[in-house]
Structure 1
């Protein structure tokens, strides 16, 4: 067994390519909790996906999902790498423009877009994927005012689930959720025909794309391909130039239980899946159409990890607890919908593993990362743990309930730089206004 500080196999798991000694140095220098971003990991993931698209023999585009991690440092690197941006709010659109994404490489999605946001998109020549019927009139007004013809896309949903389980209750719930989609319009429906007709009747709009995003952490490629088939068929019928198949490609670093199932499968292989999509598009007569996707988690999940220290250890008659300084205020998805791997670094640990319950520091009963995690028996106050795969949604969904948001240290080669500072008291209370 190798020393945990050197990043080899250690009790409780391996460091998955992270340098454990360096992580311990960063924790010692910057304190905990703190996220560490390895920009090379993110760039490799982006390059791999671009290469997979480039090998299809048809035009392809990657729109990085900005909501997944809006760190400006990361956005700038992705823009320089040749990626586009998928945004779902006005401030994300402005962030993408500031980061250097070309307007033609930005797509504006989302169920709510204000008139001002739509006007900004039209002025900047950013394509909007229509998700609300009222957007058509607002976009027509903005395009007419600007004297341009605006390209628009249309969000669709097929009403087909992309996850399954041996648990019948989960399957039934997934089927109900898929049919009751609230994003876009159902394929093959009268509602879709009405919306298409309204777009085509608008003199300053041109329908050039369709879009579908069918879930998150999808690990069943056959189900996803079957669900996309009605979307691809609509794209062929409508004669659009681009088909955006969305994101949600599952990664191997997290576990999202499906009902009683604890092992829903490994991550989805994007290259193999895109090859299947390409083949089906050709069969439907979409040989020249652009295939696009909008991944987030796939590109950034394992590019960041979260360093956290043990603040309290409790061994009780019916439970064994480690209380950490990182909780749901900076990792709101752990324990509630995702299982992440925790691994100790910083010293040699006992080879004896015992089940620990891992909790955060919040005075809130649901602040639990894992009810049982096999970790070294000698873990104690002050020890350092790595929570893997913190790159997706760590910033955008964090909050300052009881404790404050964590910072981000980016590593590149020998450099380690703070690229997002930790929150302070002044940040928390800066909105306070004394009554007049």
Structure 2
């Protein structure tokens, strides 16, 4: 692609993506020899990205029947899929077990499925179990769940985890082979992973009859940001605790998403109209919060201007607004910055995480996605138009 790329579009920097993956792999592999990296499909489900990580040797970490089917369609073998989450279907649940997927059960509904179904050919089904525990009390103010507690897995404090273990032990064709400890946090701090790892130790000590083949600490790491914890720091905190009770023959599973894809992907848009309202200069771009802030959170963006602004005047208030008809589709308020003109391009940095996956088909459809590999550019996804929007609709 030598021609100028028409905005708006997402831009994947393949070199940065490669560096994030290699840095993570080397950091954890040097600390724990039996390592599985499961890419979190929900974080960015663009097929090009999922396929990229497949070619790097990562597993697909999926959390629904549709994501399970997507991983299969993209060529993942069943034994290279990690199946988590509360919305598995019974059909794909059994298929995953029969295909030796890594499957972490989440609820008593799934235990009922195990009671209803039995493996073929007198074999054992190996499962993992997700534990729900009070991480907030260990890391006050750091979790997304807060005092209410998380929604996923079997709760440790009220005895449901213990009850689930007892129910599973009644099934002679079930072997509990893994422990899943993922938690959603606001801080992604090293202290969080210290306490998650300590919980894995506690379960090992309390349930001596269980022989875990793998410990899955989940994801939620920072990645590619200089002022945040680095992959080696996470690896060191986790493994130095686990090795107190677990052999390094145990497999360590990590499930990164944002730490791999956030920093290498940006979004490029341009100014399409300018008007003055009261004391503000409003610049509408052909991008939107729909593209890069679909949950409309109070968010600060790192941006770069693609045009040379050196000789321009300073403007007191410039509001960067999205293309939608929603008054709150405001991306930036620039204070005392260089004046922007029509067709000026703005690059929003670190836009690879929970943007494309959550973007709605509202007013405009999905923008194109471009891959930059050194000085070469290629298309990972064409812009959606009316044809794509109308697919599988009936009039």
Alpha-carbon distance in 1 for matches of 2:282, 2:304: 15
Alpha-carbon distance in 1 for matches of 2:374, 2:118: 46
Alpha-carbon contact 2:7-2:286 (below 8 Å) kept:
yes
Flag the 1:284–1:123 CA change in 2: closer, same or farther, 3 A. closer
Query: 24, 29, 32: which is aligned to 1:49?
Result: 24
1:220-254 CA-to-partner distances (Å, cap 9, x unmatched) read 2124422542244214534312111111113466x
1:40-81 CA-to-partner distances (Å, cap 9, x unmatched) read 221221111111111114422111101111222222221121
Alpha-carbon contact 2:307-2:344 (below 8 Å) kept:
yes
Equivalent in the alignment of 1:387: 348
Flag the 1:349–1:101 CA change in 2: closer, same or farther, 3 A. farther
Alpha-carbon distance in 2 for matches of 1:354, 1:245: 48
Equivalent in the alignment of 1:40: 15
Equivalent in the alignment of 1:81: 56
Instruction: Trace 1:260-299 onto structure 2 (pairs within 5 A).
Output: 266-299=227-260
Using the TM superposition, give the Cα deviation of residue 269 of structure 1 relative to its aligned residue in structure 2, in angstroms.
1.7
Alpha-carbon contact 2:309-2:338 (below 8 Å) kept:
no
Equivalent in the alignment of 1:240: 212
Equivalent in the alignment of 1:365: 327
Using the TM superposition, give the Cα deviation of residue 195 of structure 1 relative to its aligned residue in structure 2, in angstroms.
0.6
Query: 368, 374, 377: which is aligned to 1:416?
Result: 377
Flag the 1:138–1:299 CA change in 2: closer, same or farther, 3 A. same
Query: 116, 122, 126: which is aligned to 2:91?
Result: 116
Alpha-carbon contact 1:359-1:369 (below 8 Å) kept:
yes
Using the TM superposition, give the Cα deviation of residue 143 of structure 1 relative to its aligned residue in structure 2, in angstroms.
4.2
Equivalent in the alignment of 1:260: none
TM-score by length of 2: 0.89
Flag the 1:241–1:189 CA change in 2: closer, same or farther, 3 A. farther
SS state of the match for residue 128, structure 1? strand
Instruction: Trace 1:202-221 onto structure 2 (pairs within 5 A).
Output: 202-215=171-184, 218-221=187-190
Flag the 1:146–1:45 CA change in 2: closer, same or farther, 3 A. farther
Flag the 1:359–1:278 CA change in 2: closer, same or farther, 3 A. same
1:60-108 CA-to-partner distances (Å, cap 9, x unmatched) read 2111101111222222221121211211112222222333334323210
Alpha-carbon contact 1:39-1:303 (below 8 Å) kept:
yes
Q: Number of residues paired by the alignment? A: 391
Flag the 1:360–1:305 CA change in 2: closer, same or farther, 3 A. same
Q: Does 1:98 align with 2:73?
A: yes
Using the TM superposition, give the Cα deviation of residue 408 of structure 1 relative to its aligned residue in structure 2, in angstroms.
0.6
Alpha-carbon distance in 1 for matches of 2:135, 2:98: 36
Query: 307, 316, 336: which is aligned to 2:277?
Result: 316
Equivalent in the alignment of 2:132: 157
Flag the 1:47–1:248 CA change in 2: closer, same or farther, 3 A. same
TM-score by length of 1: 0.81
Equivalent in the alignment of 1:398: 359
Alpha-carbon distance in 2 for matches of 1:226, 1:303: 29
Flag the 1:179–1:185 CA change in 2: closer, same or farther, 3 A. farther
Alpha-carbon contact 1:211-1:246 (below 8 Å) kept:
yes
Flag the 1:356–1:221 CA change in 2: closer, same or farther, 3 A. farther
SS state of the match for residue 44, structure 1? helix
Alpha-carbon distance in 2 for matches of 1:217, 1:103: 32
Alpha-carbon distance in 2 for matches of 1:108, 1:127: 6
Q: Does 1:197 align with 2:197?
A: no
1:134-157 CA-to-partner distances (Å, cap 9, x unmatched) read 112324544425753221111112
Query: 222, 231, 234: which is aligned to 2:191?
Result: 222
SS state of the match for residue 183, structure 1? coil
Using the TM superposition, give the Cα deviation of residue 338 of structure 1 relative to its aligned residue in structure 2, in angstroms.
3.5
